Structure 1
Amino acid sequence: MKIAEVGNIIEFKNGLQGIVEKVNENSVIVDLTYMKNYRDLELEEKTVVNHKNYTIIKKALEA
């Protein structure tokens, strides 16, 4: 299992996408405002996703 890093874009739960803001031992905290249709979905700005429940779709840009 590949663990996301801060800044990665992940996909989870029926196509939701977000930017990883913090990596915890068993989960990541994700900013959902990355999605263009975020306001239409009426979701909270951030959510917690277990490492088992996402795929990395874009790596963070390296400095």
Structure 2
Amino acid sequence: MMTIAEVGDIIEFKDGLQGIVEKVNENSVIVDLTYMEDFDELEMEEKTVINHKRYKIIHSAAE
């Protein structure tokens, strides 16, 4: 059983990228990447979509 992130959770995906979950969809989450300290250096969009199978929760907003 896969644990699905909730709004406000911090997740990690790909090669150590992190972000805050802004919206939970049926098969994915929308993540705000500006959470990362080095965001400006990465030259990426502010938000991205990550499939539930492709991330792990590193901090739960419920804690």
Q: Percent identity?
A: 76
- Give the Cα separation in 1 of the matches to 2:62 and 2:35: 15
2:33 aligned with 1:32: yes
Deviations 1:2-52 (A, max 9, x none): 000000000000000000000000000000000000000000000000000
Correspondence 1:1-63 to 2 at 5 A: 1-61=2-62
Structure 1's unaligned 5+ residue stretches are none
- Structure 1 length as normaliser, TM-score? 0.95
Aligned length: 62
- Structure 2 length as normaliser, TM-score? 0.95
Supply the AA of the counterpart residue of 1:39: D
Structure 2's unaligned 5+ residue stretches are none
